[in-house]
Amino acid sequence: MHPYLLLALHVVAGLGGVVLVVTTLSAAIRSFVLPRNEVVRLNVLVFVSIRVFFDLAAKRANSYERRDKIMAHYAPVALVALPVMWEALVSLGYTCIYWAVGEGSWLHCYQLSGSSLLTLGTIDSFSVVGGFLTYSEATLGLLLLTLLLSYLPTIYQAFSRREVTVALLELRAGTPPTTATLLCWLNPDGSEKNDELQWAEWERWFVEIEESHTSLPILSFFRSPQPGRSWVTSGGLILDTAALLFAAVEGPRSRQVELTFKAGCLALNRVYRFFDNEAGAESTSLMPNQALPEPGRADFDSAYEELAERGMALCQDRDAAWSQYRELRGRYLPAVEFLARLTMAPSLKTTM
């Protein structure tokens, strides 16, 4: 091979290796250290690739419980696959760099890279420049693993806080959960201001959802311990309850409930836009016939009558209340429907 061509190949391989290492390190830092919702394309590629295999396995399941059991492993497997992919790319990048600085054949450079990255020390024949590179690679290998291990407690703490609210909501809204049941529990004597502390709790929960599920998007795919629960449907139920309260109950609106409703709409829509616009995610087609339908007028009337039986002061114009309820629900319905499909939520219908 012509010397100039060989030199050009060494330069290209070295620069390509540096770019690959820097890109991978940047992806790791933006994933777990940068405190903001930024899309990391490398991580998206890993998650989407793994999701394909889980979707194929879930499609073969003959029941929702079986699909849920399969998909429950998706987020943990994808999370563990991240550092494996990072280290593989770093190893490939350093292999190119070693070859570029003249450390030997491609096979020797690959063995030297693997030995350095995993701190095995099985290859000790290298130059002074190669020695510096091996130390830097060993440092990066330990750093990448440390990043994931350090943030695992943070991820599971956020997951635990989210699921406590989901479990408590199930106790209050009944089985199956309904907005009328939840609203009656919140207002046992007909006063909508009895449980402002509960609405404040839900406001904080929505704010945490927005922050954690966009800065650590893999959290969205961690499923509830019980197959019948989901953070998506729980969020939709809370917002449906607020919409029914605003539309059907007579009297001034509680400022706290309004804040919770705004926080919920913002949180779900921002998580929705993060996956739909930025991450380029597509909702799964495992359940193509399920969607989040508009509650029928008969369901609305039934909820109306249940609230009246509990002694709540309701609007006289039921048609206007129904129209307002549908308008309020339209503010978050697309987000709830998309996220429910994306995460394979257990139930896409919120019964009134």
57-66 pLDDT, tens digit each: 998 888 888 9
Sign of the torsion angle spanned by Cα atoms 60, 271, 153, 40: positive
pLDDT at 186: 86
d(CA 240, CA 237): 5
Cβ atoms of 229 and 179 within 8 Å: the answer is no
Cα angle for residues 35, 21, 216 (degrees, 5° grid): 25
Task: Spell out the domain ranges in the chain.
Answer: 3-148, 174-342
Peptide bond connecting 176 to the previous residue in cis, omega within 30 degrees of 0: yes
User: Model confidence over 230-277: pLDDT tens digits?
Assistant: 999 999 999 999 999 999 888 788 899 999 999 999 999 999 999 886
286, pLDDT greater than 60? no
Cβ atoms of 27 and 86 within 8 Å: the answer is yes
Helices (H), the chain: 3-32, 41-59, 64-71, 74-100, 106-117, 128-173, 179-186, 196-215, 231-248, 255-273, 297-309, 318-329, 333-342
3-state class (DSSP) for residue 277: helix
* pLDDT average, residue stretch 154-162: 92
Mean pLDDT score of the chain, rounded to an integer?
86
> What are the distances in angstroms from CA 101 to CA 7, 20, 95, 186, 223?
10, 16, 10, 70, 48
d(CA 182, CA 245): 11
Q: What's the full length of the chain, in residues?
A: 352
d(CA 26, CA 258): 40
